[in-house]
Amino acid sequence: MAQIELSVDLGSKFITIYQKGIGLVLREPSVALVGRHGDKLELLETGYRAESIISSSLGGAQVVAPVKEGQVADEEMCALLIRSFLKKILPTGGILRPRVNAIVNVTCAMTGSDRRAVEKCFLKAGVKEVTLVESPLSLLAYTGSIGGLFLDIGGGKTEVAAVTNRGIANGVTVNIAGDAFNAAIIDAVYMNYGVKLGDYTVEKLKTGALSFYLNDEGSYPVSGGSREGAPKSVVITAADMRDAVLPLVDDIVEVVMHVLDETPPELSAEILRKGIFLTGGSSRIPGLKEYLEQAFELPLTSLQDGASSVAIGGAKFLEDRRFLSELIGVKLD
């Protein structure tokens, strides 16, 4: 029987899949569109196709985001979402279906019950063997470093971890990331201009216009509902968004400083030499890297593959399961 080996990054905003021997085969929004068929919910669309419908008209459909803040929020829908994505990448035809094994990257703060929920979702989706790996370990494998501090700012959570080739020395996961940035911008625009922005509008505004460069004086027209109920258009500046998000970024800085304070001296010396590795979709905000470098007084290295680095790093364990076994303290076949 043919065997397919995958490394999966189960993110709040995106699910990324790397296939051994091929490379990155999927990166799609972790969102599903469902409709009701009698008493049951029926999966209509997933990923980018679901997102495109959400941005236009839902009709009678319902939006489901089964992964929130790095954890499974809806086990049944998460399994269906994963199954849908696997169908997109697995070969069709033939008498026997290939056996699928997967390394699934999860946050270092996951409890035992949360880990079991993730494992159950992948088994229900048709994966035969599931190995859970903390994301910072995969980032260490991605860099090929013997140790370092990793700052992963994603969509639903930010993860900070001091890691060595013997495992995670100290790690923290907080719910301050892209979703929280969006909420802060929505609140600021409503408070300052009396306009309520939708989730899709604010996501486009953030990804296209938010900047931490102080000399960015751009302005951007947006529309939304007013306090009076009628649609209203206003012009938002880059400074408006920066001021809204800055307190949250400063909270992330405090989390990183706390992790550094709790890191063993030998690893701290390594971090002092190398600086901090920066990754995650929300880390790509223009000027954010430079702002963080000033705050930490340490150099930051942005990982080349950004949002896909966890899945790519996890794939290295598919080639070296002995190293993975040593890192997670579990004997693997």
pLDDT in tens, 66-94: 998 889 999 999 999 999 999 999 887 66
Looking at the predicted structure, is the pLDDT value of residue 159 above 90? yes
Measured between alpha carbons, how far is residue 34 from residues 26, 44, 57, 250 in Å? 21, 5, 13, 38
- Res 325: pLDDT: 82
Average pLDDT for 246-264: 96
Identify the band that residue 58 occupies on the pLDDT scale cut at 50, 70 and 90: low
- Res 94: pLDDT: 63
- Res 242: pLDDT: 95
The rounded distance, in Å, linking the Cα atoms of 333 and 149 is: 30
Distance from first CA to last CA of the chain, Å, rounded? 18
- Res 54: pLDDT: 67
Looking at the predicted structure, is the pLDDT value of residue 48 above 70? yes
Looking at the predicted structure, is the pLDDT value of residue 333 above 70? no
Alpha helical stretches, state H, 11-170: 47-54, 75-89, 112-124, 135-143
Q: Spelled out in words, what is the top-level CATH class assigned to the domain 3-141+310-328?
A: alpha beta
The rounded distance, in Å, linking the Cα atoms of 17 and 58 is: 27
Identify the band that residue 317 occupies on the pLDDT scale cut at 50, 70 and 90: very high
Domain 147-176+245-303 CATH assignment equals 3.40.50.150: no
Q: For residue 327, what is the enclosing H or E element?
A: helix 321-328
Percent of the chain with pLDDT over 70: 95
The rounded distance, in Å, linking the Cα atoms of 251 and 249 is: 5
**Whole-prediction pTM value?**
0.92
What are the respective helix, strand and coil percentages of the chain, to the nearest 5? 40, 30, 25
- Res 62: pLDDT: 80
Identify the band that residue 43 occupies on the pLDDT scale cut at 50, 70 and 90: confident
- Res 152: pLDDT: 97
> What are the extents of the domains in the chain?
3-141+310-328, 147-176+245-303, 190-242
Q: Which two tokens stand for residue 85?
A: 């994505």
Looking at the predicted structure, is the pLDDT value of residue 293 above 70? yes
Identify the band that residue 165 occupies on the pLDDT scale cut at 50, 70 and 90: confident
Q: Spelled out in words, what is the top-level CATH class assigned to the domain 190-242?
A: alpha beta
- Res 59: pLDDT: 61
Do 147-176+245-303 and 3-141+310-328 have the same topology in CATH? Answer: yes
Helix and strand numbers, DSSP H then E, in the chain: 11, 18
